[in-house]
Amino acid sequence: MFEANTLAVIFVSLMALSILLYAILDGFDLGIGILLPLDQKDDSDTMIASIGPFWDANETWLVLAIGLLLIAFPAAHSYIFKELYLPTAVLLISLVLRGVAFDFRAKAAFSHKPTWNKVFKVGSLFAALSQGYMLGMYVMGFETTLAAYSFSLLSAFGVAAAYSYIGACWLIMKAEGDLQIQAINWAKKSGLICFLGVVAVSLVNPLINPDVYAKWFSWPNTLFILPLPLICFALFIFSYVQLKQLPKVNDKGCWRPFTAAVVIFALCFFGLAFSFFPYIVPNKLTIWQTAAAPESLSFLLWGTMIVVPVIFSYTAFSYRVFWGKVQELRYH
């Protein structure tokens, strides 16, 4: 149906889309977990309720992304997870802890609820830190140098801040009253750290990768790509201005910071994807070298054409049903 090169591009595009959607959707509920106050019972319940209908389904995109990497680019899957074995283990354990804590905080004895809140918070934090560390090692080409490890640790805290930022913006949109005001303050602080992290990655990436530098600063690429950082910078300013003006009467404009955060995430992801394409392992393996057999990809494409729209449909439906201000979380 398609040529081998076309199939490789289709599958890497689907994988990139899955990673982006995961970063946005699971990013805000990980951010809610990181921000979870341990000494404010009512606020904790409201924050958990704001992600209650969505958090489990959001992780579907991570499963899809890893599944596509495994079946479409098996050599890259082996290489990447061999290099990232330990942070991957930390990520999986953290996600399990979050899942257990989410249910047990409401179903266990009342006196144990604070403990499960702590577990949920710690699981969310370590999941974000491990993802940021993995991103840093990926950008650094899996080097085993002090500079690579240092940058990866910086990236870990940057991603945790970014998730806190988009989580706070989500909470501004979903909460009311004192909790919304608290979320506005969280968004201001985490947004500044997120901005500094984006600047750091934008500077380091072209400096350590000559090919990336050549891509960004060669004509005509410069004409189309360099505006992206400027737009990103403008969105951070726009978001901060909106946060300064909130809360407003009738909650007008409460959705704007979250929308700005989503676009910032998308622009940053597009910048990274553009920087490394067609490499799936930076400076080592391309998508053409690691793609599975064309016959296998052609067969798998039919299943993907069914599965991906189904995931999109039930995700969109769940957000449509549970849109609006958060209601009290109930378990049945």
Say what the pLDDT of residue 5 is: 79
Kindly report each contact of residues 296-304 with a partner whose C-beta sits within 8 Å and lies 24 or more positions away, as own/partner: 296/71, 297/4, 297/7, 297/8, 297/10, 297/11, 297/72, 298/1, 298/2, 298/7, 300/11, 300/71, 300/72, 301/1, 301/2, 301/7, 301/10, 301/11, 304/11, 304/14, 304/68
pLDDT at position 327 is 66
Cα separation, 73 vs 280, in Å, equals 9
Average confidence score pLDDT of the chain: 86
CB-CB contact of 291 with 73 (8 Å)? yes
In terms of average pLDDT, the best of 35-39, 166-170, 311-315 is: 166-170
Give residue-wise pLDDT tens across range 60-89.
Answer: 898 889 988 988 899 999 999 888 999 999
Predicted pLDDT at 28: 92
pLDDT at 252: 80
Judged against a pLDDT cut of 80, whether residue 109 lies above it is answered with no
The arithmetic mean of pLDDT across residues 278-289, rounded, is: 87
User: What's the whole-model pTM score?
Assistant: 0.90
Residue 230's Cβ-count burial label (10 Å; 0-12, 13-18, 19+) is exposed
Mean pLDDT throughout 105-125?
81
DSSP state of 73: -
More confident residue, 316 or 112: 316
Task: Specify whether the CB–CB gap between 3 and 294 falls below 8 A.
Answer: yes
pLDDT in tens, 146-168: 888 988 998 899 999 999 999 99
As a whole number, mean pLDDT of residues 289-312 equals 87
Give me the residues paired with residue 279 across strands: 286
Which residue do the tokens 């999941």 mark? 127
Number of residues assigned to the chain: 332
Structure tokens at 135: 């991103």
User: To which residue do tokens 């910078």 refer?
Assistant: 233
N-term to C-term CA, the chain:
48
User: How far is the C-alpha of 92 from the C-alpha of 252, rounded, in Å?
Assistant: 39
- What's the pLDDT band for 123 if we cut at 50, 70, 90? very high
The amino acid sitting at 35 is: L
- Judged against a pLDDT cut of 90, whether residue 332 lies above it is answered with no
Domain residue ranges in the chain: 4-321
Looking at residue 328, what is its pLDDT?
Answer: 60
pLDDT tens-digit readout, 194-204: 998 888 877 87
